[in-house]
């Protein structure tokens, strides 16, 4: 299985080559992989900012544990969850479904009401954690797609989410930076590329019952 080879090839890149850039063609393929990510009810309650701007990335680096990947990587993906689930977001999804599947919106009313009811049952804390968790599925697809294209990547939680929200003006858009990923090409000097992969043995990770 080629996927396993690719997953063994990838690693969380610590030092990127600042000269090498991901092509527009590859970027489009990565966007498609992110778009095709699964999400609860299919709602995709997030946005993905692709930050190219050098000055903005220089502002983000000090609030990202000073990690060099933020400025040296080719592109910075910021996965931002919506801060709450407003009924109109569900209506938008229903309208899109009706259009794509040539259905009457009324025929989807039962499903729409069910989603609204289930989501209203969550406490604000549950909603927040549920919304953030959606972005990690998209992150996973991005990392896997990068591995297939032999693009290096580093998933990152080492940043101050409030500061990202300020710098990127996310609050005004009802968004919150939940997780980021830097993508590009490894630097020859990144010694982590030579380290053995650390994973639990499968008998500890899996239990068949």
> Which listed residue (48, 82, 115, 155) binds ligand FMN by CB under 6 A?
155
With H, G, I as helix, E, B as strand and everything else as coil, classify residue 39: coil
Q: Of 40, 21, 122, 155, which is closest to residue 89 (Cα–Cα)?
A: 40
Residue 135 to residue 132: CA distance in whole angstroms: 6
Q: Does 63 engage in binding with ligand FMN (CB under 6 A)?
A: no
CB of 8 to ligand FMN, least distance (A): 9
145 touching ligand FMN, by CB under 6 A = no
Q: Is 197 in the site for ligand FMN (CB under 6 A)?
A: yes
Task: Using the minimum distance from each CB to ligand FMN, give the nearer residue, 7 or 98.
Answer: 7
Candidate residues 28, 126, 157, 162; the one interacting with ligand FMN per rule CB under 6 A? 157
Looking only at residues 174 through 193 of this chain, which bind ligand FMN when binding is defined by CB under 6 A? 179
| Min dist. Cβ of residue 72 to ligand FMN (A) | 12
**For residue 85, what are the CA distances in angstroms to 31, 49, 92, 165, 186?**
24, 19, 12, 18, 38
Nearer to ligand FMN, 79 or 93 (CB): 79
User: Contact, 169 vs 47, CB < 8 A?
Assistant: no
Q: Is 154 in the site for ligand FMN (CB under 6 A)?
A: yes
Task: Work out the angle between the directed axes of helices 124-148 and 2-9 (0-180°, nearest 10).
Answer: 100
Counts for the chain of helices (H) and strands (E), in that order: 9, 4
Under the binding rule (CB under 6 A), the answer on residue 100 touching ligand FMN is no
* 158 belongs to the binding site for ligand FMN (CB under 6 A): yes
12 binds ligand FMN (CB under 6 A): yes
Q: Which stretch binds ligand FMN (CB under 6 A): 73-81, 87-95, 124-132, 153-161?
A: 153-161
Coil, strand, or helix at residue 110?
Answer: helix
How big is the site for ligand FMN, counted in residues (CB under 6 A)?
11
Closest among 192, 189, 143, 191 to 17, alpha carbons compared: 189
Closer by beta carbon to ligand FMN, 43 or else 137: 137
Q: Is the dihedral of CA 71, 77, 83, 89 positive or negative?
A: positive
List contacts with ligand FMN (CB under 6 A). 11-12, 14, 67, 154-158, 179, 197
């Amino acid at each position: 299985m080629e996927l396993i080879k690719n997953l063994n090839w990838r690693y969380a890149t610590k030092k990127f080559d600042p000269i090498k850039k991901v092509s527009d063609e590859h970027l489009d393929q990565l966007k498609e992989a992110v778009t095709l990510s699964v999400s609860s009810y299919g709602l995709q309650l997030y946005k993905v900012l692709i930050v190219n701007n050098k000055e903005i990335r220089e502002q983000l680096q000090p609030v990202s544990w000073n990690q060099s990947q933020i400025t040296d990587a080719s592109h910075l993906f910021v996965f931002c969850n919506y801060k709450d689930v407003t009924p109109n977001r569900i209506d938008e999804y229903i309208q899109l479904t009706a259009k794509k599947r040539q259905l009457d919106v009324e025929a989807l009313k039962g499903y729409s009401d069910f989603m609204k009811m289930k989501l209203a049952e969550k406490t604000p804390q549950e909603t927040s954690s549920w919304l953030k968790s959606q972005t990690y599925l998209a992150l996973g697809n991005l990392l896997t797609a990068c591995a297939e294209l032999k693009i290096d990547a580093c998933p990152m939680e080492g940043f101050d989410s409030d500061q990202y929200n300020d710098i990127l003006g996310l609050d005004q858009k009802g968004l919150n930076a939940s997780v980021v990923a830097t993508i590009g090409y490894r630097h020859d000097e990144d010694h982590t590329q030579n380290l053995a992969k650390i994973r639990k043995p499968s008998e500890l990770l899996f239990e068949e019952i």
